[in-house]
Structure 1
Amino acid sequence: MVQSSPRRLPRGRHALSRGEVERVHRDRLCAAMAEAMTEKGYVGTSVEDVLRRARVSRQSFYGLFSSKLDCFMAAFDQASTLLRRQLEGAAEGGGDPVTRFERAFTAYLEALASEPGYARLFLVEVYAAGPEAIQRRSEIQHDLADALAGLMGLSGDAARFACQIVVSAVGAMVTPAVAAGDMEALRAVGPPVVEHVRLLLRSGALDA
């Protein structure tokens, strides 16, 4: 989902611009936020925890973020953007709607499994971060539902509502596995969900 180990700045003098330095610091701080919350949760994570893992100064942190929540939201947005890109890549290619769904859903599960820290941030700790984060999560779920409808070639209000239900149900199913750090259980969600979508299409519940 996200680069696991953001690069460090080179030692000593370097030719990186200020913007590039800030980009490296931002990536390291976002990754450190996800790592710290895997161990301590959002409430138990302090700015100091993030700085220690990122090896970035407090001054640099507050030059980029106004607060722990601000850093969390940046990490959340980074994770969601890169997740969308991975899904878009998986959606390329032919096949019937179920094949396209299976390819994209498998990529989604693998993205979560490959980055457990960001997966926990995205699915679990978002609820501890407060109303702003929860609202952002809701917006992303709606975007994913629209993307799912487009992926499967579905249109109409009923079909889009059905896609919203699928996205919400999937979120509820994968969150316990992510919270427990059980990647086998996370991947096991895939086949029954794909089969259920197949049955929905055959029954006409997803009106193409």
Structure 2
Amino acid sequence: MKPVSESLPRRLPRGRHALSRDELERVQRARLCAAMAEVMAEKGYVATSVADVLARSGVSRQTFYQVFDSKLDCFMTAFDFASDILTRRLMETVGADEHGVLAPEAASDPLERFERVFTAYLDALATELPYTRLFLIEVYAAGPAAIRRRSRQQAATATLLANLMGVTAESGRFTCQMIVTATSTMVTNAVADNDLTALRAVGPPVIDHVRALWKAGAFGHEGG
């Protein structure tokens, strides 16, 4: 799957163009977010400057400050963009909306849905590696506000997983929260090393373990 950053134009054509003002700002915002992710993947959040982002994106300083208040503001927007990319891809994989509500034709087996969505999750992390590093690693260098954003995102992901699997019991939703938190830790080491083989290798044992948890009734349903 082609990374989002590769589909964005590095520079807009000179002179008049057909983009509306809102569309132009959307494209500029997306380019700046992609540039922020790419530069941070190379230099880390602390060493990345606004000037680095401008050089990578081809956007002017004046335009940057029309769109963002600061480097942190750009980072937070890029974080949300990464979260949206991930959620959209996962839900499309199993035929669900952004809240995890399944379409009537979606697969009926909860474990099959989990396997498909977890495999898609690892694929998305590997495909969007700069955003993945931003999402999993550099967020901790960006300060308390970014870390709180990360915690809220993890909680939202756990809720999506529970909805996707049809888990309603409080104990089962807590199991989903533990799966999301543990998975984040496991994939972070592979991402830090840029080791895509190790990243994808997380999949089979996690899927097997979730199947075992389901059989044991750990999701608040009758086991079996």
TM-score normalized by the length of structure 2? 0.90
| Greater mean deviation of Cα atoms: 152-161 or 52-61 | 152-161
Identify the match of residue 107 of structure 1 among 95, 100, 120. 120
Q: Give the conservation status (yes or no) of the 8 Å contact 2:136–2:184.
A: yes
SS in 1 for 2:4: coil
Long gaps (5+) in structure 1: none
Q: Which residue number corresponds to residue 3 of structure 1? A: 4
Identify the match of residue 68 of structure 1 among 71, 81, 88. 71
Q: Show the 5 A alignment for 1:1-208.
A: 3-5=4-6, 6-7=8-9, 8-92=11-95, 93-208=106-221
User: Cα deviation per residue 1:172-208 (whole Å; 9 max; x = unaligned)?
Assistant: 0000111111111100000000000000000111213
Deviation >6 Å, runs of 4+: none
User: Cα deviation per residue 1:9-51 (whole Å; 9 max; x = unaligned)?
Assistant: 1232213222121111111100000000011000110000000
Distance in 2, Cα, partners of 1:139 & 1:197: 23
Q: Give the conservation status (yes or no) of the 8 Å contact 1:9–1:24.
A: no
Letter of the structure 1 residue corresponding to residue 177 of structure 2: Q
Distance in 1, Cα, partners of 2:3 & 2:156: 19
Q: Give the conservation status (yes or no) of the 8 Å contact 1:100–1:152.
A: yes
Distance in 1, Cα, partners of 2:197 & 2:13: 38
Q: Give the conservation status (yes or no) of the 8 Å contact 1:9–1:21.
A: no
Q: Give the conservation status (yes or no) of the 8 Å contact 1:2–1:82.
A: no
Count of residues paired in the alignment: 208
Letter of the structure 1 residue corresponding to residue 39 of structure 2: A
Aligned alpha-carbon RMSD (Å): 1.2
Q: Give the conservation status (yes or no) of the 8 Å contact 2:126–2:199.
A: yes
Q: Which residue number corresponds to residue 101 of structure 2? A: none
Letter of the structure 1 residue corresponding to residue 79 of structure 2: F
Distance in 2, Cα, partners of 1:183 & 1:22: 33
Distance in 2, Cα, partners of 1:15 & 1:182: 42
Q: Give the conservation status (yes or no) of the 8 Å contact 1:32–1:54.
A: yes
Distance in 2, Cα, partners of 1:94 & 1:19: 38
TM-score normalized by the length of structure 1? 0.97
Which one has the bigger helix percentage? Answer: 1
Distance in 1, Cα, partners of 2:63 & 2:22: 12
